[in-house]
Amino acid sequence: MNLAAKDIRHNLGRFALTTIGVGMLLMIVMGMGGIYRGIIEDATLLIDHIGADMWVVQRDTRGPLAEVSRVPSNLVHRVAAVPGVATSREFVYHTIQREYEGKPIRIAVLGLSWPTDKGDWLPLVAGRALRQNHFEMIADRTLRLELGEDIKLGRETYTIVGLTANMISSAGDGIAFVATSDAMAIQFDAAGEAVRLEREARRSRGERYEVGRQQPVLLEQAYKSSAEIPPIAPPQMSAVLVTVAPGHDAEQVAATIAAWGDVTVHTRADQRELLLEGNVEKVRRQIGLFRILLTVIAAIIMALILYTLTLDKLHSIALLKLIGAPSTVIVGMILQQALVLGVLGYGIGYLVGQRIFPQFPRRVILTQDDLMQLAAIVLAISVLSSLLGIWKAMRISPNEAIA
pLDDT in tens, 213-226: 656 666 566 556 65
Highest mean pLDDT among 77-91, 192-206, 277-291, 327-341: 77-91
Same domain, 229 and 355: no
* Residue range 148-165, pLDDT digits in tens: 999 988 888 999 999 998
Q: How confident is the model at residue 56 (pLDDT cuts 50, 70, 90)?
A: very high
Kindly state whether residues 379 and 330 are assigned to the same domain. yes
Residue finishing a domain among 262, 278, 294:
278
CA-CA distance, 197 to 201, in Å (whole number)?
Answer: 6
109 shares its domain with 205: yes
> Checking DSSP bridges between strand 136-140 and strand 156-164, what pairing results, if any?
parallel
From the list 262, 263, 273, 254, the residue with the least C-alpha distance to 65 is 273
Same-domain pairing of 380 and 302 = yes
pLDDT at 1: 43
202/221 Cα distance (integer angstroms): 9
Q: Answer whether residue 4 shows pLDDT above 60.
A: no
Give me the number of domains the chain comprises: 2
pLDDT at 66 exceeding the cut of 60 = yes
233 DSSP assignment: P
Section 6-15 average pLDDT: 70
Q: pLDDT digits over 249-298, tens only?
A: 888 998 999 888 889 999 888 888 887 777 677 877 888 888 888 878 87
Q: How far is it, in rounded angstroms, from Cα 109 to Cα 174?
A: 9
Task: Tell whether 174 and 57 lie within a shared domain.
Answer: yes
Range of the domain at 200: 51-278
**Considering 221, 243, 278, which residue would you say is the last residue of a domain?**
278
pLDDT above 70 coverage of the chain, percent: 81
Mean pLDDT of 56-73: 85
* Domain shared by 11 and 107, yes or no: no
Q: Which residues contact 387 (CB under 8 A, 6 or more apart)?
A: 303
Check whether residue 219 and residue 351 sit in a common domain: no
Same domain, 165 and 303: no
If asked whether residues 144 and 293 sit together in one domain, one would say no
In this prediction, residue 205 has a pLDDT band, given cuts at 50, 70 and 90, of: low
Residues 155, 186 contacting (CB under 8 angstroms):
no
Q: Is residue 240 domain-shared with residue 128, that is, in the same domain?
A: yes
The residue with greater pLDDT, 129 or 2, is: 129
Residue 226's Cβ-count burial label (10 Å; 0-12, 13-18, 19+) is: middle
pLDDT at 228 > cutoff 60 = no
User: Is the domain of 72 the same as that of 21?
Assistant: no
301 and 349 inside one domain? yes
In angstroms, the CA 321 to CA 13 distance is 27
pLDDT exceeds 80 at position 204? no
Q: Which of 258, 278, 298 is the last residue of a domain?
A: 278
Check: CB of residue 386 under 8 Å from CB of residue 338: yes
